[in-house]
């Protein structure tokens, strides 16, 4: 006999496609917008189609507005740090989503068009996302659903809990359907306990979410008024659960099937504790709540995407979109070194260190790339080429991009520049970096031509990416820096006219894909470029294409702040994230007109504006005599502070920043005064 009403819960999709089916159309109504909250990212409109994104740097999952990891027959994307192709382009693989449920009432799945109340909240204090909605039951009574989803802060474990409450005097007959257990899964697959209407499920999945799943469903029918359902997915059983066993003091000889899977409460508690520790370092803004919320969202998503535990298991860097999608194939670009690393270096050095550590670990691959480049350019001959870091680096460190993009030789300089910064902050071994600098100088020597006082790099692609030509300003300055750091006095040609610098030879001064020439001002802080910064900004800042990547506005805002143009800087900074976060839960898109989230590069750029622009932090080879505070770093570098707060901010507390293993708090007011407290 068919039940009068039942719920069908479908977990773990059969297919691992990266796309997502369009949800059913919602009823015509206006959903209220939640006010900005400094600690909560809230979506109150279930018709928003961009899926939520949760990550811990080891796994990344997408969940729709109903907190499901799949829609119909289509799995929303899930990714793991170790799940890359082992040959070919070594792309990251989309995997079956280990999370998410799909409720059905009668024969009809619950859709966004059925909802009479809705709220999805990402709590940045705990890392947990809650999804609450209500639908009308068979007799008109409301049925409330509350789902909580959370990832373990260190291990590849995801957990969810659902509570369903029917406001009726009569119990509702319900069903829960689940896919049959994974073939050969350790621990016997799914385990069910059914005490008094409660359903608790522990999912143990081996390897890459155990993509081989049987194609049939099992259903359990209950008569309940209040239903609780829990699922814990362990996505790398042996490495994750073994570590849990060690914490619990269990013997290493315990068979896999006897190892304990953590409960939902344990995963939630671990996440809450870890985020409380992370938020001891914070940026507290006495200003518009939208600004505070935005800054914390950047810190949250960046911190979540960098996991030292995962990096120790799988020494991979961070892609521009982390583990949120297959855009750029999960490969590593200069985004990590120039845009993400500086944003996290003072906030979470252990997480930031993942980026230079990846480069050092795969230095041999960079040497092979240089040798191949030089051999091809010389028509063979077996010359050693130094190091050439890839434009698009894979898990093995080899170049995977075809065609003209291989000519972006500023990548090698950018990577070495970031390694130099990491050395000054004590995050990497100085001797290893110095060795790579010598190798980098060898490559630029072979790549350059002309006398030592006016060396040139021809036929290279600018960071503009619209242009291949000669003597790109950013590229030549990096080459000069690398070669001079190796101990030789050389100068490279820097294109300019009577007004100021040009981006490259024959620059038409019309338009650019993204900021290029102004990178000489920041991050390179070239003395002459800084002296001419105002002229360069007036020349270049308004010529970046409107649909270019997000970083241009943030670097422009940073430079305006350093120039004392505080109002202009603030307006540009608000645009640098406001235009790109028009998505649920402040998901950051790469471009204004595209829904491609989460773009870590853009978040890193906006956070750098706050740190190195408004906050006035600066790493340099010279001590600023006008700085409010200074600290000498390794290798003769200096970290200084000279704030440039926007008028809209009355005060900012840079709380428990980390420098050379010590913590310090900087309280800055609108007049530029600064109080510093160094912590033991």
Q: What is the domain partition of the chain in residue ranges?
A: 40-278, 288-504+512-614
Mean per-residue pLDDT, 621-640: 95
Q: For residue 211, give both structure tokens.
A: 């993509």
Kindly report the CATH number that applies to the domain delimited by 40-278.
2.70.98
Residue-level pLDDT at 8: 29
Phi, psi of 367, deg, nearest 5:
-70, -40
Residue-level pLDDT at 374: 86
The three-class DSSP label of residue 591 is: coil
User: Which residues, including other chains, have CB under 8 Å from residue 21's CB and lie 6 or more apart?
Assistant: 71, 72, 73, 74
Mean per-residue pLDDT, 110-137: 94
Q: Which of 199, 200, 259, 271 is nearest to 234 (CA)?
A: 259
Q: Which CATH architecture has domain 288-504+512-614?
A: Alpha/alpha barrel (1.50)
How many CA within 13 A on the CB side of residue 366?
27
| Tens-place pLDDT, residues 307-341 | 998 888 888 899 999 999 999 999 999 999 999 99
| Tens-place pLDDT, residues 567-622 | 999 999 999 999 999 999 999 999 998 899 999 999 999 999 999 999 999 999 99
Residue-level pLDDT at 334: 97
Q: For residue 546, give both structure tokens.
A: 């409107």
The pairing of strands 651-659 and 282-286 is antiparallel
Distance from chain centroid for Cα 62: 14
375 or 477: which leads in pLDDT: 477
The three-class DSSP label of residue 253 is: coil
| Tens-place pLDDT, residues 240-296 | 666 766 766 666 676 656 666 788 999 999 999 999 999 999 999 999 999 999 999
The pairing of strands 199-204 and 282-286 is unpaired
Q: Which of 171, 176, 104, 116 is nearest to 139 (CA)?
A: 171
Q: For residue 607, give both structure tokens.
A: 């956070």
Percent of the chain with pLDDT over 70: 82
Q: How confident is the model at residue 209 (pLDDT cuts 50, 70, 90)?
A: very low
Q: How far apart are CA 569 and CA 563, in angstroms?
A: 9
| Tens-place pLDDT, residues 27-58 | 468 898 899 999 999 999 999 999 999 999 99
3-state secondary structure 593-649: CCCCECCHHHHHHHHHHHHHHHCCEEEECCCCCCCCEEEECHHHCEEEECCCCCCCC
Mean per-residue pLDDT, 469-490: 96
Residue 162 has pLDDT above 90, yes or no: no
Out of 102-106, 172-176, 425-429, which region has the weakest mean confidence (pLDDT)?
Answer: 172-176
Residue-level pLDDT at 597: 97
pTM of the model: 0.90
92 cis-preceded (ω within 30 degrees of 0): no
End-to-end CA distance of the chain: 70
Mean per-residue pLDDT, 493-498: 98
User: Crossing angle, helix 600-608 and helix 566-578, to 10 degrees?
Assistant: 160
Mean per-residue pLDDT, 539-548: 94
Mean per-residue pLDDT, 202-212: 38
Average pLDDT, whole number, for the chain? Answer: 85
Residue-level pLDDT at 241: 61
How distant, in Å, are the alpha carbons of 45, 165, 180, 264, 436 from that of 162?
A: 20, 10, 20, 11, 52
Residue 208 has pLDDT above 70, yes or no: no
User: 46: burial class by Cβ within 10 Å (0-12, 13-18, 19+)?
Assistant: buried
Stated as kind and residue range, the H or E segment containing 311 is helix 308-313
Residue-level pLDDT at 212: 31
Q: How confident is the model at residue 96 (pLDDT cuts 50, 70, 90)?
A: confident
Stated as kind and residue range, the H or E segment containing 550 is none
Residue 370 has pLDDT above 50, yes or no: yes
Residue 12 has pLDDT above 50, yes or no: no
Percent of the chain with pLDDT over 90: 66
Residue 177 has pLDDT above 90, yes or no: no
Residue-level pLDDT at 496: 97
Q: In this structure, how many other beta carbons lie within 10 angstroms of the beta carbon of residue 61?
A: 29
| Tens-place pLDDT, residues 407-422 | 999 999 999 999 999 9
Residue-level pLDDT at 258: 65
The three-class DSSP label of residue 117 is: strand
How distant, in Å, are the alpha carbons of 139, 321, 631 from that of 335?
A: 55, 10, 27
How does 615-645 read in b/e, with b if 16+ C-beta sit within 10 Å? bbbbbeeeebeebbbebebeeebbbbbbbbb
Q: How far apart are CA 540 and CA 600, in angstroms?
A: 24
Q: How confident is the model at residue 3 (pLDDT cuts 50, 70, 90)?
A: very low
Residue-level pLDDT at 168: 61
């Amino acid at each position: 006999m068919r039940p009068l009403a039942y719920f069908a819960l479908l977990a773990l999709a059969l297919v691992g496609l990266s796309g997502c089916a369009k949800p059913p159309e919602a009823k015509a109504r206006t959903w209220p917008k939640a006010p900005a909250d400094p600690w909560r990212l809230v979506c109150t409109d279930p018709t928003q189609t961009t899926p939520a994104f949760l990550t811990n740097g080891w796994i990344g999952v997408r969940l729709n507005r109903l907190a499901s990891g799949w829609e119909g027959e289509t799995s929303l994307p899930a990714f793991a740090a170790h799940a890359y192709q082992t040959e070919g382009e070594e792309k990251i693989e989309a995997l079956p989503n280990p999370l998410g449920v799909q409720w059905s009432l009668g024969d009809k799945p619950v859709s966004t068009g059925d909802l009479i109340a809705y709220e999805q909240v990402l709590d940045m204090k705990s890392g947990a996302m809650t999804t609450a909605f209500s639908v009308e039951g068979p007799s008109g009574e409301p049925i409330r659903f509350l789902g909580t989803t959370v990832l373990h802060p260190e291990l590849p474990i995801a957990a969810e809990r659902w509570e369903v409450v029917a406001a009726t005097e009569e119990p509702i007959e319900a069903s829960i359907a689940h896919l049959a257990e994974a073939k050969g899964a350790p621990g016997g697959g799914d385990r069910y306990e059914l005490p008094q209407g409660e359903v608790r499920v522990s999912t143990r999945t081996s390897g890459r979410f155990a993509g081989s799943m049987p194609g049939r469903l099992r259903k359990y029918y209950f008569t309940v008024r209040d239903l609780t359902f829990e699922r814990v997915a362990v996505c790398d059983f042996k490495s994750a659960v073994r570590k849990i066993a060690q914490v619990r003091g269990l013997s290493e000889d315990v068979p896999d099937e006897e190892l304990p899977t953590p409960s939902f409460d344990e995963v939630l508690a671990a996440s809450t504790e870890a985020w409380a520790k992370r938020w001891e370092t914070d940026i507290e803004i006495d200003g518009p709540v939208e600004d505070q919320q935005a800054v914390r969202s950047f810190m949250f998503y960046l911190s979540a995407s960098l996991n030292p535990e995962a990096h120790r298991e799988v020494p991979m860097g961070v892609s521009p979109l982390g583990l949120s999608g297959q855009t750029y194939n999960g490969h590593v670009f200069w985004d990590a070194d120039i845009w993400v690393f500086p944003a996290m270096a003072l906030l979470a050095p252990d997480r930031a260190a993942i980026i230079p550590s990846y480069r050092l670990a795969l230095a041999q691959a960079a040497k092979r790339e240089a040798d191949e480049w030089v051999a091809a350019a010389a028509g063979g001959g077996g010359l050693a080429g130094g190091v050439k870091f890839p434009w698009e680096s894979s898990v093995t460190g080899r170049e995977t991009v075809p065609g003209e993009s291989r000519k972006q030789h500023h990548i090698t300089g950018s990577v070495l520049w970031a390694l130099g910064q990491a050395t000054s902050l004590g995050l990497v071994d100085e001797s290893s970096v110095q060795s790579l600098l010598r190798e980098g100088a060898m490559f630029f020597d072979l790549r350059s031509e002309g006398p030592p006082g006016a060396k040139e790099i021809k036929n290279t692609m600018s960071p503009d990416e619209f242009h291949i030509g000669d003597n790109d300003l950013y590229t030549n300055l990096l080459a000069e820096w690398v070669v001079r750091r190796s101990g030789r006095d050389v100068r490279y040609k820097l294109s300019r006219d009577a007004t100021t610098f040009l981006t490259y030879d024959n620059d038409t001064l019309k338009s650019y894909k993204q900021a290029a020439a102004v990178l000489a001002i920041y991050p390179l802080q070239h003395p002459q470029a800084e002296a001419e910064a105002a002229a360069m900004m007036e020349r270049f800042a308004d010529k970046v294409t409107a649909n270019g990547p997000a970083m241009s506005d943030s670097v422009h805002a940073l430079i305006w702040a350093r120039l004392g143009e505080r109002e202009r800087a603030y307006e540009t900074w608000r645009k640098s994230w406001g235009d790109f976060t028009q998505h649920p839960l402040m998901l950051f898109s790469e471009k204004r007109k595209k829904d491609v989230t989460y773009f870590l590069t853009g978040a890193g750029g906006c956070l750098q504006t706050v740190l190195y622009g408004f906050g006035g932090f600066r790493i340099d080879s010279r001590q600023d005599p006008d700085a409010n505070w200074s600290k000498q770093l390794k290798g003769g570098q200096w970290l200084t502070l000279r704030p440039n707060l926007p008028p809209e901010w009355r005060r900012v507390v840079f709380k428990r920043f980390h420098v050379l293993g010590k913590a310090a708090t900087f309280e800055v007011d609108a007049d530029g005064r600064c109080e510093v407290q160094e912590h033991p």
